[in-house]
């Protein structure tokens, strides 16, 4: 059938795409404030399996670092804020470099050392110790011949900006601009390092939900926000935040610095006043964030400049305090299955170009599930689960491909939709996962939940192929661009 042909050629093209799109990188943050977290060794295996090659640690624990020895995973390690006083002399920093970094660097890739995290906003009492510690550590790395491979920086929150909207008004808080920020920026320039920012559209949206559209926070470009001064058009709050930082850097005479997004993400669960913290929005945000990186579009102020992003976070952290959302930023369950589908390699054939956060969710077989668990889940769903398993019977529209994964996905989704999208109904012994990507293919149209906007999900044949053609134009564009 015509429909099928256009989909198959589409997938072939999409598989080529990731290799052509180069520049930006995607990593994960590995927060460990949990009492139920998997072993570091199994985390290393998970990253290898998921082709995740960058990881940000929040300390410099030697046993954690060594779990990544011999892998292609490169690490960011961190000097925690309260340890900054221990790095105030060259001798102290040399000792640390020689006892921690140098031995680890023989077997483990280390990219960068973060000297304090959000120090001015979280622990201002240590502010004056950040730059001396950065200098001493960089000097120690130089003596150990490691300075060319390991950069040194410090991570800031968006809170160091006095203004961030419109992006062109981006400026550092006056009370720290000259005294704190400028000397650090001068030093970052001198050593060729990045400006690191933890950027959370979730927090900005949560603080100002009257003024910020959820679609905009989730990268859905329906109503772009135009900067009245530059007339640059923003389709996402994250891009606006990053550009506000670029404008602030420019205002300090540091347009040469590159921004590294050292944290960003979206929580899957929150308190009752945090209803936008849910699996659907988290899947939407993070998949669109990945697409922004893979698209290589950069930001309006820095078009085409590769974005390097660390997604916060690998796991939920049950020992964190504060609002419910604080404990629920994870992408993976502690049993290492995914909480939701994340297109880490950008190879997802047939995915919509942009997820709509207020749109639908589906339940499908987890890529990690064994045939045995899928068979058991399938038998349950089609048996006592009462799922609609007609379409996967021989000769019917969803019979092919005749695999456990494909049949289980259909049956799981049917069961999930009939349960009214209850997250608990998408489990099947851990062999199932929720996704915000429509799993439909050809004439096999997966039903979606009641939340889904009509036309977006229950598409008929002609609308499916319209979306193919836009996708193909995108791919052709990327091919031309790559040449």
Ligand X SMILES: *[C@@H]1O[C@H](CO)[C@@H](O)[C@H](O)[C@H]1NC(C)=O
- Sequence-distant (6+) residues with CB within 8 A of 173 are 160, 161, 162
Among the listed residues 379, 461, 479, 482, the single contact to ligand X using CB under 6 A: 461
Residues 357-396 that bind ligand X (CB under 6 A): 358-359, 371
Of 2-10, 125-133, 226-234, 338-346, the window that binds ligand X (rule: CB under 6 A) is 2-10
Give bridge partners of residue 198 from the DSSP assignment. 157, 263
CA distance 393 to 402: 9
CA distance 261 to 282: 17
- 463 forms part of the interface with ligand X (CB under 6 A): yes
Of 66-74, 98-106, 306-314, 456-464, the window that binds ligand X (rule: CB under 6 A) is 456-464
Kindly state the tokens that stand for 79. 């000097």
Give bridge partners of residue 332 from the DSSP assignment. 315, 338
The least distance separating ligand X from the CB of residue 446, rounded to whole angstroms, comes to 11
Q: Helix (H, G, I), strand (E, B), or coil: what is residue 20? A: helix
* Residue 263 falls in the annotated catalytic set: yes
Catalytic residue among 263, 274, 326, 372: 263
- 403 forms part of the interface with ligand X (CB under 6 A): yes
- 334 forms part of the interface with ligand X (CB under 6 A): no
Q: Dihedral sign, CA of 344, 426, 274, 226?
A: positive
Of 54-62, 126-134, 255-263, 457-465, the window that binds ligand X (rule: CB under 6 A) is 457-465
Catalytic residue among 50, 82, 118, 162: 118
Rounded (5°) CA angle 289-164-317: 45
How crowded is residue 358: how many other Cβ atoms within 10 Å of its Cβ?
17
Binding mask 410-449 for ligand X (x = CB under 6 A): ---------------------------------x-x----
Helices 130-143 and 182-190: angle between axes, nearest 10 degrees = 10
Of 72-80, 185-193, 195-203, 288-296, the window that binds ligand X (rule: CB under 6 A) is 288-296
Of 58-66, 105-113, 276-284, 453-461, the window that binds ligand X (rule: CB under 6 A) is 453-461
Residues 162-191 that bind ligand X (CB under 6 A): 162, 173, 175
Closest residue to ligand X: CB criterion: 465
CA distance 35 to 37: 6
Among the listed residues 145, 222, 335, 390, the single contact to ligand X using CB under 6 A: 222
* Residue 118 falls in the annotated catalytic set: yes
- 308 forms part of the interface with ligand X (CB under 6 A): no
- 295 forms part of the interface with ligand X (CB under 6 A): yes
- Sequence-distant (6+) residues with CB within 8 A of 242 are 197, 199, 259, 261, 299, 302, 307
Phi then psi for residue 310, to 5 deg, are -115, 120
Of 303-311, 316-324, 420-428, 469-477, the window that binds ligand X (rule: CB under 6 A) is 469-477
CA distance 40 to 21: 31
CA distance 402 to 199: 44
3 or 102: whose CB is closer to ligand X?
Answer: 3
Nearest of 156, 184, 191, 189 to residue 170 by alpha carbon: 156
The least distance separating ligand X from the CB of residue 107, rounded to whole angstroms, comes to 32
The least distance separating ligand X from the CB of residue 249, rounded to whole angstroms, comes to 17
CA distance 123 to 40: 28
71 or 468: whose CB is closer to ligand X?
Answer: 468
CA distance 228 to 233: 9
Residue 483 burial (C-beta neighbours within 10 Å; 0-12, 13-18, 19+): exposed
- 213 forms part of the interface with ligand X (CB under 6 A): no
145 or 469: whose CB is closer to ligand X?
Answer: 469
The least distance separating ligand X from the CB of residue 79, rounded to whole angstroms, comes to 22
Which spans of this chain sit near ligand X (rule: CB under 6 A)? 2-3, 6, 162, 173, 175, 215, 219-222, 288, 291-292, 295, 297, 353-354, 356, 358-359, 371, 403-404, 443, 445, 453, 460-463, 465, 468-469, 472, 474
Catalytic residues: 118, 263
């Amino acid at each position: 059938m015509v429909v099928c042909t256009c989909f198959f050629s589409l997938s072939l093209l999409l598989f080529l795409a990731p290799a052509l799109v180069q520049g930006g990188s995607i990593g994960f943050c590995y927060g460990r404030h949990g009492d139920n977290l998997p072993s570091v060794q199994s985390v290393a295996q998970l990253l290898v399996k998921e082709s995740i090659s960058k990881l940000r640690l929040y300390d410099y624990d030697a046993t954690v670092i060594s779990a990544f020895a011999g892998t292609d995973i490169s690490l960011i390690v961190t000097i925690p804020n309260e340890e900054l006083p221990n790095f105030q002399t060259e001798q102290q920093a040399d000792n640390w470099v020689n006892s921690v970094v140098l031995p680890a660097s023989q077997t483990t890739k280390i990219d960068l050392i973060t000297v304090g995290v959000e120090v001015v906003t979280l622990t201002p009492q240590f502010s004056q110790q950040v730059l001396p510690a950065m200098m001493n550590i960089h000097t120690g790395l130089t003596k150990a011949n490691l300075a060319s491979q390991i950069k040194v920086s410090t991570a800031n929150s968006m809170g160091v900006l006095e203004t961030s909207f419109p992006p062109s008004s981006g400026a550092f808080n006056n009370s720290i601009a000259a005294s704190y920020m400028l000397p650090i920026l001068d030093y970052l320039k001198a050593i060729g390092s990045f400006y690191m920012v933890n950027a959370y559209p979730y927090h900005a949206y949560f603080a100002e939900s009257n003024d910020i559209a959820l679609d905009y926070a989730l990268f859905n470009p329906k109503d772009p926000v135009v900067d009245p001064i530059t007339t640059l058009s923003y389709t996402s709050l994250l891009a606006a935040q990053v550009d506000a930082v670029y404008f602030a850097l420019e205002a300090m005479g540091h347009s040469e610095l590159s921004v590294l997004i050292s944290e960003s993400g979206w929580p899957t669960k929150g308190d009752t006043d945090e209803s936008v913290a849910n699996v659907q929005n988290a899947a939407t945000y993070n998949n669109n964030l990945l697409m922004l990186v893979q698209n290589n579009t950069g930001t309006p102020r820095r078009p085409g400049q590769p974005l390097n992003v660390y997604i916060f976070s690998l796991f939920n952290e049950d020992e964190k305090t504060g609002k419910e959302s604080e404990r629920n930023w994870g992408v993976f369950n502690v049993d290492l299955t995914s909480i939701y589908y994340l297109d880490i390699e950008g190879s997802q054939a047939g995915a919509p170009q942009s997820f709509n956060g207020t749109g639908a969710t589906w339940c499908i077989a987890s890529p990690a599930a064994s045939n045995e668990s899928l068979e058991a889940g399938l038998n349950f769903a089609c048996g006592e689960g009462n799922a609609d398993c007609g379409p996967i019977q021989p000769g019917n529209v969803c019979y092919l491909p005749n695999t456990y994964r494909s049949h289980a996905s259909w049956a799981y989704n049917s069961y999930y939709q009939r349960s009214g999208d209850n997250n608990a109904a998408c489990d099947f012994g851990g062999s199932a996962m929720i996704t915000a990507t429509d799993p439909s293919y050809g004439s096999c149209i997966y039903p979606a939940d009641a939340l889904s906007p009509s036309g977006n999900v229950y598409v008929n044949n002609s609308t499916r192929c319209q979306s193919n053609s836009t996708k193909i134009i995108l791919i052709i564009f990327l091919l031309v661009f790559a040449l």
